[in-house]
A and B are shown apart, each in its own frame.
Chain A
């Protein structure tokens, strides 16, 4: 491991904003403050994005709104010889638990209910925490952000399962599975939560700490 050499004293990290430079978040190149487009990779650059939180909340809200019909409408429509059956995400998991597959039921509930709800909570918490001082350390919050960004894509797995099942289980009269309207809302909810997490400017997590340190030095 090689650590980068800080231009200031090794104890205190100097941010690009403090030095009057603005950095490209895509290719890490530094430019004079006020530069709007990175000369190396052409990415739009801003020292801090003032609209970041607004976009986070807007996407977050749309994602949350989409998550409601994703749970109330049926996700799968199963037709077998004698009956046709529509089940929502939660009802489907409960039904699987009734058959004795507790492990699978737990995985489904975890992936489709616990993870999405925690994601909404985590993004909201991060967005609130950059405005209001929080006790949780920046490293923890950074970790939380990385987890949200990493996990976010994996929620799409539900949609892929529905797609595979609907394509595969088309056995004429014997059994067929078709996607229900919840699938489209669930997909939208995942996409908007991903956009919400991507809009979050993680540099703000660290700005709050810098402010706190300055304040304690003034005391």
Chain B
């Protein structure tokens, strides 16, 4: 029953539809007000969740995350002291701990998961959202940029690394004196901000705005 493709107002009809990506249920679009949430009736996936000034918040948070990542990567992160033997490591040191032979791949993967992927996501989000929030036409390649940012979402593991720190601290606590460097606190704030950023972002609203850019 492929009737939709042939009719002239098919495009308008399709534009008025939204399909749940999780269970394929099709709905006529009913755009929620700011602060409301539209969910799929069948599987209860959140489809649209717009918020007032969300774009501005996300940009502010993204800028903070950007500086925190750079700071957290280079400043000392943890220090250890046992019987006069001291050692201070940064997050980059931790990521590059796997050295020698095939372990180098693990180093690169760890560095990517905890620093470079979160960093790239922040840059992509800033690139896409700043023109949108300023009511300017969308940036060049904004659509592939936002798609890449969404594809990278599961591979951005800063918050997992933070919990990993807690576990590692427990493990060495009785072996040696462990101290926190400035990067540790930066990373703690960063984790909270990354989670806040993801919960503020309504993907559908971004796609909608990229599709219907304001002409200024």
Which residues on A are within 8 Å of B, measured CB to CB? Answer: 1-7, 13-21, 23-34, 40-43, 104, 107, 138-139, 142, 149, 152-154, 156-157, 159-172, 174-175, 179, 183-184, 187, 191, 194, 198, 202-203, 205-207
Decide if A4 touches B47 in the complex (CB within 8 Å): yes
Report whether over half of chain A's contact residues are helix, strand or loop; otherwise say mixed.
mixed
A171 contacts B82, C-beta separation under 8 Å = yes
> Are A183 and B106 in touch, CB under 8 angstroms?
yes
B contacts, CB < 8 Å to A: 1-5, 10, 14, 17-30, 32-33, 36-43, 47, 78, 80, 82-83, 85, 87, 89, 93-98, 102-103, 105-106, 109-110, 113-114, 143-144, 146-147, 150, 154, 157, 160-161, 163-165, 167-168, 170-172, 175-176, 178, 203-204, 207, 210-211
Partner of A4, one of B5, B41, B80: B41
> Closest CB-CB distance, A25 to chain B, in whole Å?
4
Taking a contact as CB atoms under 8 Å apart, the answer to whether A203 and B18 are in contact is no
On whether the beta carbons of B160 and A104 are closer than 8 Å, the reply is no
| A159, closest chain B residue (CB) | B110
Query: Can you pick out 27 interface pairs between chain A and chain B where the beta carbons lie within 8 Å of each other?
Result: A2-B38, A3-B38, A5-B30, A6-B27, A6-B28, A7-B28, A13-B41, A14-B25, A15-B24, A16-B24, A16-B25, A23-B26, A28-B204, A28-B207, A33-B4, A41-B210, A138-B43, A156-B160, A157-B163, A161-B167, A163-B164, A164-B164, A164-B168, A168-B172, A184-B102, A191-B109, A203-B23
A64 to B101, CA, bound (A): 23
Using known A-B contacts A30-B19, A157-B164, A183-B98, determine if residue A23 contacts B43 with beta carbons closer than 8 Å: no
